[in-house]
Amino acid sequence: MQTDKVFQMSASNIRFGEGCTSEIGMDLRALDVRRTMVLLDPGLKSLPIAEVVRDSLKQQQIDFEIFDEISVEPTDASFQHAAAVAAAGGFDSFVAVGGGSTIDTAKAANLYATWPAEFRRYVNAPIGDGQPVPGPLKPLIAVPTTAGTGSETTGVAVFDFTAQKAKTGIASRYLKPTLGIIDSNNTRSLPPAVAASSGLDVLSHALESYTALPFDQRPKPASPSLRPAYQGANPISDLWCLHALELMGEYLPRAFADPSDDEARSNMLLASAIAGIGFGNAGVHLPHAMSYPVAGMVKGFRPKGFDVDHDMVPHGMSVILSTPAVVRFTAASCPQRHLRAAAALGADVSNANPSDAGNVLADRVIHFMKRMDMPNGLAAVGYTATQIPDLVAGTLPQQRLTKLSPSPVHESVLTSLFQESLKLW
Ligand SMILES: NC(=O)c1ccc[n+]([C@@H]2O[C@H](COP(=O)([O-])OP(=O)(O)OC[C@H]3O[C@@H](n4cnc5c(N)ncnc54)[C@H](O)[C@@H]3O)[C@@H](O)[C@H]2O)c1
């Protein structure tokens, strides 16, 4: 196999600062758009953010329609519903106001309204056909209200393929929002449970990207357009990921404990976007791959503090539950990186031996899980050992992610990782 010697940094266009949401009408005006579909998280309808966006669009005389039929953790059906509304509405631009669920739904609506196709066409292989998005989409401005998925910076839209009980996604640089508007006023109403789960998603994004298979150990693509955005750890993404870990370690406990702590919430939004730029140019690996069947097969678990009427494991929670077992497994491939990540998260590694790197990092992750009231392993969200073969079977098709593990994985490795993740402390 000829390995790649090249990596690409693809920047994201973001604006950061308290109050900047009110500028959105002027941004749309500058884009010379005529009619905008505003996808709004239904939980935010009566909150100040909805009013700020509406007023700003009205002031600039932008013709818009609000669509709020967003599913928390969207599905193929909810993506397709939004896409049908987008196609019928004659929109030339999109605004997403919400967490990852809303921003990802807007990306899918924009994609299928711009480049109509059978739904599976752009969905990641092997679950979908994995065909490339043919070209640029219409403008999309994303306003995140969680901290967060970093979806305002990435070219990824994640959804639950209901029939297959598996999460998967669509990935293309063309899906990246035209602009992300990141405003700490917009997370003031975030319930602590959502802040915890989405904050631990930030931790995992940064950690997985920093420890991913390096870009120069991946096969060389036949052309630059075939080089994946999830290209492996590289020197530029490393910088973003380490800084995101430092910010997360310092500010997540504060943002969780006190939603009125403006400095903490503001820095968590920064950490989320910074991690998004890092992982969007490197990729995530096993915790995300393993989280998809955990989220897809859940039965009988409803997270405290989430306003949902169905069983679910929130995304950040589903990811972090396997992170301790994964880092113990991957540490041998690059112990120094695992120790460096633990230090960025605030662990004292001055006397740590490289052979302990996995345990040191796992302990640090568990430290944050306990502080954020996370469940103690997969058993606490309803899974038993008898379901492990199904969880493994649901992880194996996530090849885009599993192949970025720095240590090779196969069925028996995944079985052990799920077993170790049943109970964490
Ligand atoms: N595209 C990407 O790059 C990417 C990356 C990671 C995760 N994701 C996906 O994003 C989704 C998860 O997104 P999320 O963690 O941002 O949460 P979310 O969008 O699912 O929202 C979670 C809950 O929080 C509520 N909420 C959101 N913002 C709020 C606020 N400011 N005040 C009060 N309530 C608020 C919502 O109404 C909802 O009930 C998953 O589907 C996940 O797979 C996407």
Per residue in 239-294, pLDDT (tens digit) is 999 999 999 999 999 999 999 999 999 999 999 999 999 999 999 999 999 999 99
| Ligand 1 pocket, residue 194 CB under 6 Å | yes
Q: Residues 213, 255: contact at Cβ < 8 Å?
A: no
Tokens linked to 287 = 């915790």
Domain limits, the chain: 20-182, 192-421
- Is any atom of ligand 1 closer than 6 Å to the C-beta of 154? yes
| CATH code of the domain occupying 192-421 | 1.20.1090.10
The atom of ligand 1 lying closest to the CA of 189 is: 32
Give pLDDT, residue 167: 85
Identify the residue whose C-alpha is closest to ligand 1 atom 36.
43
Structure tokens at 296: 């897809």
Question: Is the pLDDT confidence value at 156 over 90?
Answer: yes
Question: Measuring from atom 5 of ligand 1, which residue has the nearest CA?
Answer: 149
Across the chain, mean pLDDT equals 96
Q: How remote is the CA of residue 98 from the centroid of ligand 1, in Å?
A: 7
**Residue 73 near ligand 1, beta carbon < 6 Å:** yes
Region 113-136: what's the mean pLDDT?
Answer: 94
Tell me what percent of the residues of the chain surpass a pLDDT of 90. 93
CA distance 283 to 205: 8
Judge whether residue 137 has pLDDT over 90: yes
Whole-number Cα distances in Å, 5 to 85, 130, 131, 167, 234: 43, 24, 25, 31, 11
| Segment 362-411, tens digit of pLDDT | 999 999 999 999 999 999 999 999 999 999 999 998 998 999 999 999 99
pLDDT, tens digit, for every residue of 285-329?
A: 999 999 999 998 999 999 999 988 889 999 999 999 999 999 999
Ligand 1 test: best mutation among 21, 39, 40, 41, most atoms within 8 Å of CB?
41
Pocket test for ligand 1, best of 39, 145, 149 (most atoms within 8 A of CB): 149
pLDDT number for residue 309:
85
16-51 per-position pLDDT tens digit:
999 999 999 999 999 999 999 999 999 999 999 999
**Distance from the CA of 156 to the center of ligand 1, in angstroms?**
14
Task: State yes or no: pLDDT of 225 exceeds 90.
Answer: no
The residue whose C-alpha atom lies closest to atom 10 belonging to ligand 1 is 100
Expressed in angstroms and rounded, the spacing between residue 68 Cα and the centre of ligand 1 is: 14
CA dihedral 303, 306, 307, 308 (to 10 degrees): -40
Percent of residues, the chain, with pLDDT higher than 70? 100
How is domain 20-182 classified at the CATH fold level?
Rossmann fold (3.40.50)
Phi and psi at residue 46, to the nearest 5°: -105, 15
Q: Is the CB of 100 under 6 A from ligand 1?
A: yes
**Would the CB of 98 count as within 6 Å of ligand 1?**
yes
Ligand 1 binding pocket includes 291 (Cβ within 6 Å): no
Which residues are bridge partners to 36 per DSSP?
64, 93
Question: How many whole angstroms separate alpha carbon 161 and alpha carbon 188?
Answer: 32
Residue nearest to atom 41 of ligand 1 (CA): 73
Q: Write down the pLDDT at residue 298.
A: 92
